[in-house]
């Protein structure tokens, strides 16, 4: 009989003997058992298991976007798997509350046994960051040392190899650049959009100038802010300026990818653009969740050890707070919100473009 369909037991399938024998508190081994250390170990093991699943999902989504042509049906699959990552992240954030059932005094019962171990040494989390698109030059330094200093040569090589591959950021950028609706024979999206922006700003300027509810001084202030907005739009929509910002590292998405993301956001109700919009939205959810997790982690550390140095030698909560502020990967997608304009000011899509963006049955009816 083939082994393919032989029965399996729950216990052996999950390798529970191995899994449940993986908690070895150092406080016990050193003869001074601390009750809370078991919770501490299990929680961090659970984190690592979820990091493994996140890596599994990112790899599968990256594979869907590696080809020059991405089947629209694959977008749905990618969105579903990325949403799974956001659900895992919610668990990671909620788990911090469980950690906080351990008091600072409880933690001090075994903290001195942990040196120099640190969450900074999580290889899988570094891999997650790299696969999403965080690069070494963008990282906060760890005691002024390279982030990979804590890993052996084999793991360093794996991280460097991952960094040499196209990240999720790069794959999404390349996919956006291939958006086919930016320019057709009778429709140039960016030109139509620029005209719409100017029309919107003119209407806002007239509304400010004509209102009787503001003083002349207040009107002048509002008009100045409106002028700053106009300058921002003009700068962002200038390919040359955009290239300069990319060179500086201020922007990561190319000009064409940025314009494509803008089109998707503005016309997201069109049938063909609904899934692309969901994809960009769930990527932002992942970005926000990691920022929230880092911030909550920093607050938990502050609560547990105050201003003490971390067991791995970092500045503790201060370092974690700074990573929440700086380690953003998809910041360019936030910039899209600045460029959005009201639906009433959107350029009207020509019939042929609208047909291409619609479902086949309704667009040919």
Q: Within a domain: residue 286?
A: yes
How many CA atoms are closer than 13 Å to the CA of 17, on its beta-carbon side?
A: 3
Q: Within a domain: residue 88?
A: yes
Alpha-carbon span 56 to 313, nearest angstrom: 30
Residue 362 has pLDDT above 70, yes or no: no
Alpha-carbon span 291 to 299, nearest angstrom: 12
CATH number, residue 214: 1.20.58.480
What mean pLDDT, rounded, does the chain reach? 89
Q: Within a domain: residue 190?
A: yes
Q: Within a domain: residue 234?
A: yes
Residues 6+ apart with CB under 8 A from 342: 200
Residue 215 has pLDDT above 60, yes or no: yes
Q: Within a domain: residue 172?
A: yes
Is 348 in contact with 156 (CB distance < 8 Å)? Answer: no
Residue range of the domain that includes 108: 12-364
Query: Can you list the alpha helix ranges (DSSP code H) found in 100-215?
Result: 104-108, 123-132, 153-164, 168-177, 189-210
Is 293 in contact with 47 (CB distance < 8 Å)? Answer: no
User: Residue 307 carries which DSSP code?
Assistant: T
- The SS3 call for residue 184 is strand
Hey, how many other C-beta atoms are within 10 angstroms of the C-beta on 330? 19
Q: What's the pLDDT score for residue 262?
A: 94
Is 333 in contact with 284 (CB distance < 8 Å)? Answer: yes
Bridge-based pairing state of the strands 187-188 and 183-184: antiparallel
Identify the band that residue 320 occupies on the pLDDT scale cut at 50, 70 and 90: confident
Count the domains in the chain: 1
Residue 91 has pLDDT above 80, yes or no: yes
Alpha-carbon span 323 to 305, nearest angstrom: 18
Instruction: Compute φ and ψ for 183, nearest 5 degrees.
Output: -150, 125
Q: Within a domain: residue 354?
A: yes
Q: Which residues of 22-41 are buried (b: 16+ CB within 10 A; e: fewer)?
A: eeebebeeeeeebebbbbbb
What sign does the dihedral 280-283-285-288 (CA atoms) show?
Answer: negative
Alpha-carbon span 276 to 176, nearest angstrom: 9
Alpha-carbon span 65 to 169, nearest angstrom: 11
Q: Within a domain: residue 297?
A: yes
Alpha-carbon span 250 to 331, nearest angstrom: 9
Identify the band that residue 311 occupies on the pLDDT scale cut at 50, 70 and 90: low
Alpha-carbon span 166 to 62, nearest angstrom: 9
Hey, how many other C-beta atoms are within 10 angstroms of the C-beta on 179? 17
Q: Within a domain: residue 3?
A: no
Span 175-193, pLDDT tens digits: 999 888 777 778 888 888 8
Q: What's the pLDDT score for residue 314?
A: 53
Identify the band that residue 9 occupies on the pLDDT scale cut at 50, 70 and 90: very high
Give residue for tokens 């707070």.
321
């Amino acid at each position: 009989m083939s082994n393919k369909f032989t029965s399996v037991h729950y216990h052996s399938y999950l390798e529970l003997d191995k899994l449940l024998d993986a908690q070895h508190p150092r406080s016990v081994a050193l003869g001074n058992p601390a009750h809370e250390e078991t919770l501490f170990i299990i929680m961090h093991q659970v984190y690592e298991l979820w990091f493994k699943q996140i890596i599994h999902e990112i790899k599968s989504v990256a594979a869907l976007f590696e080809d020059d042509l991405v089947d629209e049906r694959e977008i749905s699959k990618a969105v579903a798997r990325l949403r799974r990552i956001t659900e895992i992240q919610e668990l990671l954030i909620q788990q911090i509350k469980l950690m906080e059932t351990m008091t600072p005094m409880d933690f001090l019962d075994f903290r001195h046994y942990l040196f120099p171990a640190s969450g900074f040494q999580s290889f899988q989390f570094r891999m997650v960051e790299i696969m999403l698109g965080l690069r070494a030059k963008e990282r906060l330094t760890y005691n002024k040392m390279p982030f990979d200093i804590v890993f052996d040569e084999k793991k360093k090589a794996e991280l460097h190899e991952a960094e040499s591959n196209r990240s999720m950021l790069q794959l999404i950028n390349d996919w956006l650049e291939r958006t086919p609706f930016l320019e057709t024979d009778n429709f140039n999206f960016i030109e139509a959009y620029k005209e719409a922006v100017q029309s919107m700003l003119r209407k806002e300027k007239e509304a400010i100038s004509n209102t009787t509810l503001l003083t002349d001084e207040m009107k002048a202030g509002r008009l100045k802010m409106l002028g700053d907005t106009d300058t921002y739009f003009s700068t962002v929509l200038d390919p040359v300026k955009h290239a300069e910002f990319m060179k500086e590292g201020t922007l990561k998405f190319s000009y064409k990818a940025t314009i494509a993301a803008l089109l998707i956001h503005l016309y997201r109700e069109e049938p063909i653009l609904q899934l692309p919009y969901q994809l960009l939205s769930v990527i932002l959810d992942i970005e926000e969740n990691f920022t929230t997790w880092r911030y909550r982690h920093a607050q938990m550390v502050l609560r547990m050890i105050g201003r003490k140095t971390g067991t791995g030698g970092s500045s503790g909560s201060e370092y974690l707070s700074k990573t929440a502020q700086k380690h953003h990967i998809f910041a360019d997608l936030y910039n899209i919100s600045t460029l959005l304009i009201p639906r009433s000011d959107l350029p009207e899509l020509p019939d042929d473009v609208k047909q291409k963006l619609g479902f086949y049955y309704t667009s040919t009816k």
